[in-house]
């Protein structure tokens, strides 16, 4: 453990260049302007020094001195609490709990379907694409109601949704509608400086959503 910590800066985020979960953590890191090293790697061939700290080799993995975190949502929460300005969670406990429940539901529904699309056979993937598209479109009234997802302020929920929306064109999912509600929401997120800086070279090469 001493070797990797002494070689790295105070904080290092090990990240897959294409994993949406890792992208979420990078988005938070850049949105808050946190000084940290980002090291891209192939999770299927994780470096040995990382495996010493995180035997699973999963991405993302955050290292800060003796702290090792390797769950995207825990990393995002930690960064928001460790660097409280600007806050990405509302301060009152009820609002924070509700936001956590929304993120959990997004993970269980949208991200689970994304995982099936990327890692399942053709038949199961096609079914998952249809379900994901319909589920997102069914949320159009929520996207339309406020500038950000169920909020007037940018939050961790948006940091969770943006990387997923960015990937939809590259997997053949079109969520455009006549009023372009979701497209406009997506562009508000994609145009943020933090989001632009969070993109890896591989993610920049993904099919860019229509503007």
> How would you classify the pairing of strands 11-15 and 37-40?
parallel
31 domain-assigned: yes
- pLDDT per residue over 69-121, tens digit each? 999 999 999 999 999 988 998 888 999 999 999 999 999 999 999 999 999 88
Terminal Cα distance for the chain, rounded: 46
Domain that holds residue 109: 93-192
Identify the domain boundary among 58, 82, 106: 82
In this structure, the answer to whether residues 70 and 159 fall within a common structural domain is no
**What predicted TM-score, i.e. pTM, was given to this entire model?**
0.91
How many structural domains is the chain composed of? 2
Runs of H (alpha helix) within 84-121: 93-106, 112-119
38 domain-assigned: yes
Identify the domain boundary among 82, 101, 129: 82
In this structure, the answer to whether residues 72 and 101 fall within a common structural domain is no
Based on the residue annotation, tell me whether 19 is a catalytic residue of this protein.
yes
9 pLDDT above the threshold of 70: no
In this structure, the answer to whether residues 182 and 111 fall within a common structural domain is yes
Question: Is 22:70 a contact under the CB 8 Å cutoff?
Answer: no
In this structure, the answer to whether residues 28 and 107 fall within a common structural domain is no
Question: For every residue of 8-61, which 3-state class applies, written as one string?
Answer: CCCEEEEECCCCHHHHHHHHHHHHCCCCCEEEECCHHHCCHHHHHHCCCCCCCE
In this structure, the answer to whether residues 8 and 72 fall within a common structural domain is yes
Q: Which of 11, 13, 19, 24 is catalytic?
A: 19
In this structure, the answer to whether residues 55 and 106 fall within a common structural domain is no
105 domain-assigned: yes
DSSP assignment of 111-176: IHHHHHHHHS-HHHHHHHHHHHHHHHHHTHHHHHHSSBTTBSS--HHHHHHHHHHHHTGGGT----
- pLDDT per residue over 10-59, tens digit each? 799 999 999 999 999 999 999 999 999 999 999 888 888 888 888 888 89
- pLDDT per residue over 139-181, tens digit each? 999 999 999 999 999 999 999 999 999 999 999 999 998 899 9
């Amino acid at each position: 453990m001493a070797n990797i910590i002494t070689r790295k800066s105070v904080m290092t985020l090990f990240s897959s260049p294409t994993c949406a979960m890792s992208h979420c953590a990078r988005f938070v890191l850049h949105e808050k302007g946190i000084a940290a090293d980002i090291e891209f790697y192939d999770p299927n061939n994780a470096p040995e020094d990382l495996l010493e700290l995180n035997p699973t080799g999963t991405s993302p993995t955050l290292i800060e001195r003796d702290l090792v975190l390797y769950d995207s949502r825990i990393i995002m929460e930690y960064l928001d609490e460790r660097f409280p300005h600007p806050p990405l969670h509302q301060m009152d406990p009820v609002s924070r709990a509700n936001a956590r429940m929304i993120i959990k539901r997004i993970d269980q529904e949208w991200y689970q379907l994304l995982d099936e699309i990327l890692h399942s056979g053709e038949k199961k993937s096609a079914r998952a694409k249809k379900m994901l598209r319909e589920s997102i479109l069914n949320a159009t009234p929520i996207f339309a109601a406020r500038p950000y997802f169920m909020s007037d302020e940018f939050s961790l929920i948006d940091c969770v949704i943006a990387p997923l929306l960015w990937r939809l064109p590259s997997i053949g999912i079109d969520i455009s509608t006549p009023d372009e509600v979701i497209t406009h929401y997506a562009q508000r997120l994609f145009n943020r400086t933090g989001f632009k800086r969070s993109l890896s070279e591989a993610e920049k090469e993904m099919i860019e959503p229509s503007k």
